[in-house]
Structure 1
Amino acid sequence: MTFHVDSEVGQLKQAIVHRPGIELSRLTPANVDELLFDDVMWADRAREEHDAFAAQLKAEGVQVHHFAQLLAEALDVAGAREFPQERLTTATRFGPALDAPLDELVASTPAQPLADLLIGGVLKRDVADLLHAPSLLMDYLGPDDFLLRPLPNHLFQRDNSAWVYDAVSINPMAKPARRGETINSRVIYNFHPMFAGTSFLYGNDSLAHDTATIEGGDITVIGNRAVMIGMGERSTPQGVETLARSLFRAGSVDSVIVVELPKARAFMHLDTVMTMIDADAFCIYPYLPDALRSFTLRRVGEGGDFKIEENAELFPIVAEALGLAGVDDLRLLRTPIDQFGAEREQWDDGNNFLAVAPGVILGYERNTTTNRYLTEHGIRIIPVVGEELGRGRGGPRCMTCPIEREAVSA
């Protein structure tokens, strides 16, 4: 099967999500900041809420794939286990004495428990019985210290890989706490039979990407051979340019609209302040600065080259890319709310909506003012319970990696 994502709001047919596992239970007050969470979540309740979220997707006709299951299935394919052995459980990372024991752990552990370890983390005591040589690192660590840190941000499947039209980018992540996610995603995309023949745009290599980072929360496939990408705390100019060149080289995109975001956690990704919710509509944080800089990269020739224009205004360019007559035909929905309320709802992912069809979106139920306003403007909102999930600072769009979505016309 050939997967593709041809729009942001067309009928969503297939998506990957991750039901939180042991990694969420390993969040503590001591490591929560390092692992990029704002609080220690109630793991059991978060799993219940995620199960309900997955059921809502299925009720809207979406085929839901669970990341941990895909990873386990991929690990059972010949050659797959050598992939993390060569890139993750190495002597340079853990010292020569641990190289063989960790390789043995990867080779001998059944696929599903191994997938859980690669996501949930590996403790010293998980490999202590396999050690047959002196290890300074093992002597230094306590029994419940991590050799491999847990990856609780796998909950947010939008970020580490992103389908853009008919190919996927496995995104080099900005923060060290998230870089292990890309190894797990590469195992799936390179070895799972479901993804045989996948075309890669960026990141399917073991290079040091340094500052050329990009994350899926900044990537919006607006359709009509155009993409909009946020550039800020997580996605850098170098990363955006690298992906843009690959998109132009692949021939699936004619223009990339780049939006400069404030470098602040509240504006972590483009989808924290702006999401497309219908063929002609965006939900926008009401106090998003009017003077945001933006640039349009337009493809020149066949080799990935492009020209850059700084835009006088963003949304006339977006309307043009969508094939609309003008910006007046674009619905820019900003909830009429005071700044205190807007900041509270934006912090609770009040602008982070997942469209499952044009004008049909999933969003957290707690953002009552925004939800009511969008409903008054003809948008159907499926309310998602996120009392615990929302404390991870990611909404329904963040938790979902579309892999098959139809095109749609404005």
Structure 2
Amino acid sequence: MQQNPFESVFKIGVTTEIGRLRKLLVHSPDSGLGKVVPSKAQDWLFEDIVHLDTIRKDEYDYYTKLLMYFLDPEKIKGKLAEIDSVEANRGFYKPNHPNFHNSENVVELQNLLADILADEYIRKKLTAAVCAIEGCTYKLQLKLTATDPKELAEIFISGTMADDTMIFAPVPNLIFTRDVGTTINSHILLNKPAKKARVRETMLMRYIFFNHPFFAAYQDNVIEIPDPTQHFLRPGDEPEFRTTLEGGDVMMVSKNHVLIGVSERTSEEGANEAIKLLFENDVVEKVTVVKIPAKRDYMHLDTVFTQVKRDTWVILHSIAHSPAYDATEPIHFLKEPEKLEATTAIQFHKNKPGEPKYYEHVEALLDDISRNDLGSTTPTKIIYSGGNVFPYDSREQWTDSCNLLALKEGVVLGYDRNDRTVEAFKASNFNVVKVQDLIQDLESGKVDADTLTDTLVLMPSAELSRARGGFHCMSLPILRDEIL
């Protein structure tokens, strides 16, 4: 495989959720999303049938362009009119398209996959692995092995041949790149998915991290979570015996502190294994486990809260303050404490084994992070989903009001449909701007990405929101500036 000219300058390092974003991994919506059918949507972890062209041209295109203004402005600044004039099908965001941006900062996973498939040895191994998982015939395996690497990368993701024939299921969840892994300082913690639908994408990412020249200097820093010893001897496939962890449940909140959610997709066993590996490899000093109700409404930790500034968070109130057990309340007595929808936060310290720290509620944890980990000298601010008014809090959390991506401290991306949450941001003195207007202002020079502060950027969301994941989900940061 040809050596990548950027290998020597490709760096990995994430110490917070809010430092200026410099590099991230994304995956543009591919044709596989347009082939999800109602009968398989649940199996493939999709809640709805989305309209692919709308997602691509009217929604994701803006996301790509905004990322470029912040992460790789030379590719777009002063060229927006030209880009728009030649992309009748919006090829700027499409891998394999002549007009694709090919940024080394907004890194497309499909391109990384195509790069490693150019190596014949890797192509044979990975094709054999995919075909084994998908039950392909040997003749099809040989045909795929002989396929052009760029085309093969698209097939592995979309499940579709060049003639539009589907040969196996797509992996539509790959647009949610956050879930395949998390950058923790200069390490990468790979996921261990809870659902069969995500097994192939996890394997593809494993091959990328261990074989692409971009990550050559960091291969010893890739952390994989093993199954329990002799797990195959245990009965059935009961959840209590499974070790699962997904990236949406992992947050790098400060240089020495990681949050891990125990949720519908991440098990206690997965959190336990991650803690041991992070401590054994001296990656961090503290890990706080936040146990949230194992419900599809929440799914991952980053669907119920994300960070906006060192002193500001957005969260669903029922997660921030779970109901306390009250023996005088009949329903609490009837349900018993363990049956309430409670959220707990327990912190483990590498140098204090057996001495966990318990937090009264999640909001207390966030306040501790802001003040003691990040050195905030101002009172911690909490912005509640839907303005903490029922039913808007739950409705807007479902459409990712709490799943925001910070491009830099105080500048975050969210969906334009969560009106009550937008009002809550305004009440906290944030500017609110539509991405279409911001892009024009960045292009004209009226606004500068380096000086922009305290801004919620509203992104079009009619179709993207139906996939049930926000921009925090659709990003895997691999390089951020440290915050001062």
TM-score scaled to structure 2, two decimals?
Answer: 0.74
Conserved 8 A contact 1:316-1:326: no
Separation (CA, whole Å) in 2 of partners of 1:256 and 1:392: 30
**Alpha-carbon distance, 1:364 to partner:** 0.6
Aligned to 1:166: 186
**Matching of residues 110-149 of structure 1 within 5 Å:** 110-121=148-159, 147-149=167-169
**Matching of residues 303-318 of structure 1 within 5 Å:** 307-318=355-366
Is 1:66 paired with 2:114?
no
Separation (CA, whole Å) in 1 of partners of 2:248 and 2:55: 21
Among all aligned residue pairs of Structure 1 and Structure 2, give the percentage whose two residues are the same amino acid: 27
Aligned to 1:185: 205
Is 1:333 paired with 2:383?
yes
Question: Which residue identity is paired with 1:186?
Answer: R
**Alpha-carbon distance, 1:316 to partner:** 3.5
Per-residue CA deviation, residues 206-227 of structure 1 (Å, 9 max, x unaligned), is x979611111111111114101
Aligned to 2:477: 402
> What are structure 1's unaligned runs of at least 5 residues?
127-142
Q: Secondary structure at the match of 2:280?
A: helix
Aligned to 1:135: none
Separation (CA, whole Å) in 2 of partners of 1:359 and 1:328: 15
CA gap of 1:246–1:327, structure 2 versus 1, over 3 A, is farther
CA gap of 1:329–1:394, structure 2 versus 1, over 3 A, is same
**Alpha-carbon distance, 1:350 to partner:** 0.8
CA gap of 1:148–1:306, structure 2 versus 1, over 3 A, is farther
**Alpha-carbon distance, 1:381 to partner:** 0.9
Conserved 8 A contact 2:311-2:376: no
Aligned to 2:458: 383
Please identify runs of 4+ aligned residues in structure 1 that moved more than 4 A: 207-210, 325-328
> What are structure 2's unaligned runs of at least 5 residues?
1-9, 73-104, 233-240, 323-342, 431-453
**Alpha-carbon distance, 1:289 to partner:** 5.8
Q: Secondary structure at the match of 1:397?
A: coil
Question: Which residue identity is paired with 1:183?
Answer: M
Separation (CA, whole Å) in 2 of partners of 1:151 and 1:374: 34
CA gap of 1:261–1:23, structure 2 versus 1, over 3 A, is same
Separation (CA, whole Å) in 2 of partners of 1:184 and 1:306: 37
More strand by share: 1
Aligned to 2:119: 77
Aligned to 1:258: 289
**Matching of residues 17-96 of structure 1 within 5 Å:** 17-48=26-57, 49-61=59-71, 63-90=105-132, 94=135
Question: Which residue identity is paired with 1:347?
Answer: W
Aligned to 2:15: 6
Per-residue CA deviation, residues 80-118 of structure 1 (Å, 9 max, x unaligned), is 21332343223x8627xx2x3243133201011101111
Question: Which residue identity is paired with 1:312?
Answer: E
Per-residue CA deviation, residues 296-319 of structure 1 (Å, 9 max, x unaligned), is 111038xxx775343334443444
CA gap of 1:23–1:341, structure 2 versus 1, over 3 A, is same
Question: Which residue identity is paired with 1:27?
Answer: V
> CA RMSD for the aligned pairs?
2.7
Aligned to 1:132: none
Aligned to 1:392: 467
**Matching of residues 220-369 of structure 1 within 5 Å:** 220-288=251-319, 290-291=321-322, 292-300=343-351, 307-324=355-372, 329-335=379-385, 336-369=387-420
CA gap of 1:82–1:287, structure 2 versus 1, over 3 A, is same
Residue 176 of structure 1 is aligned with which of 187, 196, 220? 196
Paired residues, number: 384
Q: Secondary structure at the match of 2:252?
A: strand
Conserved 8 A contact 1:174-1:213: yes
Q: Secondary structure at the match of 1:214?
A: coil
Separation (CA, whole Å) in 2 of partners of 1:289 and 1:7: 20
- Please say which of residues 283-292 and 237-246 is displaced more in the overlay: 283-292
Q: Secondary structure at the match of 1:105?
A: helix
Question: Which residue identity is paired with 2:286?
Answer: S
CA gap of 1:366–1:71, structure 2 versus 1, over 3 A, is same
Question: Which residue identity is paired with 1:407?
Answer: E
Separation (CA, whole Å) in 1 of partners of 2:12 and 2:119: 20
**Alpha-carbon distance, 1:388 to partner:** 0.8
- Please say which of residues 114-123 and 150-159 is displaced more in the overlay: 114-123
Separation (CA, whole Å) in 2 of partners of 1:392 and 1:57: 20
Separation (CA, whole Å) in 1 of partners of 2:242 and 2:314: 30
